[in-house]
């Protein structure tokens, strides 16, 4: 090879029938990314000139993801001839006529394969001058995988698919990982000669290796030591196993980076999450999407946070949070529900049984108990009384409430938006606030209380309440 070019083909055109799902197999998520996303991230990290995902089944569900997140790749469409061999043949059509070099083939359903492993395969492939180099693993339970048949001298001789294997071949525990490096010219030539003479009636990529051997070039079969790297996902049992293993590895990496995780078995961290040193995660914590948590914060138990930014020394207990920002030293929970657009200022508090949405809450302000705060802005160091509802919806449109700084609102208020409560204002308990309250004023619209003397003695004469009242009056 005069000039070393590299192309990476990612197989993702299969039907994935064993998943029994309306979602394409490779779009099933592990650690917050579709399996295909993990594989494309690895493929693009190899620095290849061409990354070529091959798609066909439910392509309208795959295309937006690929185009949105990996705009530099070249999508190839498989035609109606089935099989991994045909998929690669279609992928090669994307390459220019004069392409020469190595072609890596990986699968969208082998999500844990890492850059390092592929790079070392490429190194061995190029230095040995092999026509093809493939990855193998020894599995205790090899069922479903293609088996590696070796000659008496231990050299690679063929791959037999599970459904085409004889009883003796089924005993082989060394399997084909489905990851290959080919010499482009050899691959192209071999693909034209392979047929569909197998139980599935498909054009198998695995047959290419045998064709390359026949043409006199060497085929290297390299065994991995970390079997998880090549674990394939064909059904939901395997999806769970691979997902649990990846989560375990993510938790271990964060622990080594200075995060305390009390129970990794019940802590789930997406691959996209960022954590600082001295963050503590208590059992039942789920961190999703583009979430970041700064130093010293304690999260959990039983907390789910998605796409949110959490500052330093924050405490969050038994709560659900998405699309929110929580500044330093703030506290949330237990039992809070922070919906998108919530911004809790430094040292602020969102307490027990409180729901917020599209609410900017200033530094030091507190909403401690039993409230709904939607479409609102609250200044600094205000206190919202227990059981307050921000009535933001008139049945047709949403309206905004502005609460100033150092406001003290009474318990059981309703703020009927749009409305403005000035700085330093108070509102009385039980007030339905329908008019703006100017700075420093007390807003109240509660009718004066009237006690009807002896009403119970008169109207509920036979009750225990009447009896108790009579006694109290003696």
Stretch that binds ligand UD1, among 204-212, 320-328, 354-362, 437-445 (CB under 6 A): 204-212
The answer to whether 106 touches 43, Cβ cutoff 8 Å, is yes
Tell me if residue 295 falls in helix, strand or coil: coil
Instruction: Please tell me whether residue 83 binds ligand UD1 under the rule CB under 6 A.
Output: yes
Instruction: Please tell me whether residue 43 binds ligand UD1 under the rule CB under 6 A.
Output: no
Instruction: Please tell me whether residue 232 binds ligand UD1 under the rule CB under 6 A.
Output: yes
Rounded to a whole number of angstroms, the minimum distance from the CB of residue 50 to ligand UD1 is: 17
> Of 144 and 387, which has the nearer Cβ to Ca ion?
144
Catalytic residue list contains 369 = yes
Select from Ca ion, ligand UD1, none the partner in contact with residue 297, using the beta carbon and a kind-dependent cut-off of 5 to 8 Å.
Answer: none
Dihedral class, residue 244 (left if φ above 0, else alpha if ψ from -120 to 50, else beta): alpha
Kindly tell me which residue out of 109, 183, 270, 328 binds Ca ion, with binding defined by CB under 5 A.
Answer: 109
For the sheet with 349-352, list strands across it. 260-261, 280-281, 298-299, 315-316, 331-332, 349-352, 366-369
Instruction: Please tell me whether residue 14 binds ligand UD1 under the rule CB under 6 A.
Output: yes
* Tokens coding 176: 């084909």
> Of 74 and 460, which has the nearer Cβ to ligand UD1?
74
| Other CB atoms within 10 A of residue 19 CB | 20
Kindly tell me which residue out of 191, 205, 246, 433 binds ligand UD1, with binding defined by CB under 6 A.
Answer: 205
Query: Helix crossing, 184-193 with 206-214: angle to 10°?
Result: 100
Residue nearest to ligand UD1 (CB): 146
Please identify which of the residues 369, 399, 400, 412 carries the catalytic annotation.
Answer: 369
Query: What is the rounded distance in angstroms from the CA atom of residue 106 to the CA atom of residue 7?
Result: 11
> Of 229 and 386, which has the nearer Cβ to ligand UD1?
229
Query: Helix crossing, 59-69 with 35-45: angle to 10°?
Result: 40
Kindly tell me which residue out of 76, 84, 304, 392 binds ligand UD1, with binding defined by CB under 6 A.
Answer: 84
Rounded to a whole number of angstroms, the minimum distance from the CB of residue 81 to ligand UD1 is: 8
Sign of torsion over alpha carbons 79, 81, 83, 87: negative
Instruction: Please tell me whether residue 136 binds ligand UD1 under the rule CB under 6 A.
Output: no
Count CA atoms within 13 Å of residue 272 on its CB side. 18
Instruction: Please tell me whether residue 212 binds ligand UD1 under the rule CB under 6 A.
Output: no
Rounded to a whole number of angstroms, the minimum distance from the CB of residue 209 to ligand UD1 is: 10
Total residues binding Ca ion (CB under 5 A)? 3
Rounded to a whole number of angstroms, the minimum distance from the CB of residue 47 to ligand UD1 is: 22
The answer to whether 179 touches 88, Cβ cutoff 8 Å, is no
Q: H or E segment at 458?
A: helix 455-459
Kindly tell me which residue out of 58, 89, 109, 327 binds ligand UD1, with binding defined by CB under 6 A.
Answer: 109
CA angle 249, 250, 251 (to 5 degrees): 90
Kindly tell me which residue out of 101, 178, 333, 362 binds ligand UD1, with binding defined by CB under 6 A.
Answer: 178
Instruction: Please tell me whether residue 87 binds ligand UD1 under the rule CB under 6 A.
Output: yes
Report CA-CA distances (Å) from 292 to 51, 318, 323, 360. Answer: 30, 18, 11, 19
Residues constituting the chain: 474
Instruction: Please tell me whether residue 232 binds Ca ion under the rule CB under 5 A.
Output: yes
Count CA atoms within 13 Å of residue 80 on its CB side. 0
Select from Ca ion, ligand UD1, none the partner in contact with residue 288, using the beta carbon and a kind-dependent cut-off of 5 to 8 Å.
Answer: none
Largest CA-CA distance found in the chain, in angstroms, rounded:
113
Instruction: Please tell me whether residue 347 binds ligand UD1 under the rule CB under 6 A.
Output: no
Rounded to a whole number of angstroms, the minimum distance from the CB of residue 25 to Ca ion is: 8
Kindly tell me which residue out of 103, 110, 208, 275 binds ligand UD1, with binding defined by CB under 6 A.
Answer: 110
Instruction: Please tell me whether residue 161 binds ligand UD1 under the rule CB under 6 A.
Output: yes
Instruction: Please tell me whether residue 146 binds ligand UD1 under the rule CB under 6 A.
Output: yes
Instruction: Please tell me whether residue 78 binds ligand UD1 under the rule CB under 6 A.
Output: yes
Select from ligand UD1, Ca ion, none the partner in contact with residue 11, using the beta carbon and a kind-dependent cut-off of 5 to 8 Å.
Answer: ligand UD1
Rounded to a whole number of angstroms, the minimum distance from the CB of residue 23 to Ca ion is: 16
Instruction: Kindly compute the dihedral angle of the four CA atoms of residues 33, 35, 38, 44, in this order, to the nearest 10 degrees.
Output: -120
Q: Which residues, 6 or more positions from 76, have their beta carbon under 8 angstroms from its beta carbon?
A: 9, 52, 53, 54, 55, 90, 91, 93, 94
Rounded to a whole number of angstroms, the minimum distance from the CB of residue 53 to ligand UD1 is: 9
Query: What is the rounded distance in angstroms from the CA atom of residue 175 to the CA atom of residue 198?
Result: 18
Stretch that binds ligand UD1, among 11-19, 362-370, 375-383, 440-448 (CB under 6 A): 11-19
Kindly tell me which residue out of 175, 213, 242, 367 binds ligand UD1, with binding defined by CB under 6 A.
Answer: 175
Tell me if residue 412 falls in helix, strand or coil: coil
Dihedral class, residue 204 (left if φ above 0, else alpha if ψ from -120 to 50, else beta): beta
Select from ligand UD1, Ca ion, none the partner in contact with residue 319, using the beta carbon and a kind-dependent cut-off of 5 to 8 Å.
Answer: none
Where does this chain bind ligand UD1 (CB under 6 A)? 11-14, 26, 54, 78, 82-84, 86-87, 107-110, 145-146, 159, 161, 175-178, 204-206, 232, 234
Where does this chain bind Ca ion (CB under 5 A)? 109, 232, 234
Give the active site residues. 369
């Amino acid at each position: 090879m005069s000039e070393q070019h590299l192309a990476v083909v990612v197989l993702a055109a299969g039907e994935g029938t064993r998943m029994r799902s309306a979602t394409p197999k490779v779009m099933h998520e592990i650690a917050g990314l579709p399996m295909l996303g993990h594989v494309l991230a690895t493929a693009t990290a190899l620095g290849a000139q061409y990354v070529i995902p091959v798609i066909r089944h439910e392509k309208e569900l795959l295309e937006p993801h690929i185009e949105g997140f990996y705009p530099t790749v070249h999508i190839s469409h498989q035609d109606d001839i089935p099989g991994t061999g045909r998929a690669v043949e279609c992928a090669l059509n994307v390459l220019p006529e004069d392409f020469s070099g190595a072609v890596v083939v990986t699968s969208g359903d082998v999500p844990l394969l890492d850059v390092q492993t592929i790079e070392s395969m490429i190194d061995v492939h190029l230095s040995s001058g092999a026509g093809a180099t493939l990855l193998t693993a020894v599995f205790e339970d090899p069922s479903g995988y293609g088996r590696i048949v070796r000659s008496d001298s231990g050299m690679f001789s063929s791959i037999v698919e599970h459904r085409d294997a004889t009883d003796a071949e089924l005993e082989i525990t060394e399997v084909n990982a489905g990851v290959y490096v080919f010499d482009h010219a050899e691959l192209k030539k071999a693909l034209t000669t392979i047929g569909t003479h197998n139980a599935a009636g498909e054009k198998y990529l695995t047959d290419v290796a045998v064709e390359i051997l026949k043409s006199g070039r060497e085929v290297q079969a390299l065994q991995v030591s970390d079997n998880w790297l090549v674990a394939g996902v064909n059904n939901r049992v395997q999806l769970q196993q691979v997902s649990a293993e990846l989560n375990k590895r993510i938790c271990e990496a964060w622990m080594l980076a200075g995060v305390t995780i009390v129970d990794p078995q019940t802590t789930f961290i997406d691959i996209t999450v960022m954590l600082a040193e001295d963050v503590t995660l208590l059992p039942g914590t789920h961190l999703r999407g583009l979430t970041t948590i700064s130093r010293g914060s304690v999260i959990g138990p039983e907390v789910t946070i998605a796409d949110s930014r959490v500052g330093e020394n924050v405490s969050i207990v038994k709560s659900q949070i998405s699309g929110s920002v929580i500044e330093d030293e703030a506290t949330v929970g237990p039992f809070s529900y922070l919906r998108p657009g919530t911004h809790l200022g430094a040292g602020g508090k969102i307490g027990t049984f409180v729901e917020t949405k599209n609410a900017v809450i200033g530094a030091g302000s507190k909403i401690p108990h039993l409230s709904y705060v939607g479409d609102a802005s609250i200044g600094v160091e205000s206190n919202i009384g227990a059981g307050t509802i921000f009535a933001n919806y008139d049945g047709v449109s949403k309206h905004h409430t502005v609460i100033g700084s150092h406001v003290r609102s009474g318990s059981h208020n309703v703020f009927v938006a749009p409305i403005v409560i000035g700085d330093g204002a108070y509102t009385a308990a039980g007030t339905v606030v329908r008019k703006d309250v100017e700075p420093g004023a007390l807003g109240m619209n509660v009718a004066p209380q009237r006690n009807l003397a002896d009403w119970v003695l008169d109207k509920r004469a036979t009750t225990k309440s009447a009896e108790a009242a009579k006694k109290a009056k003696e």
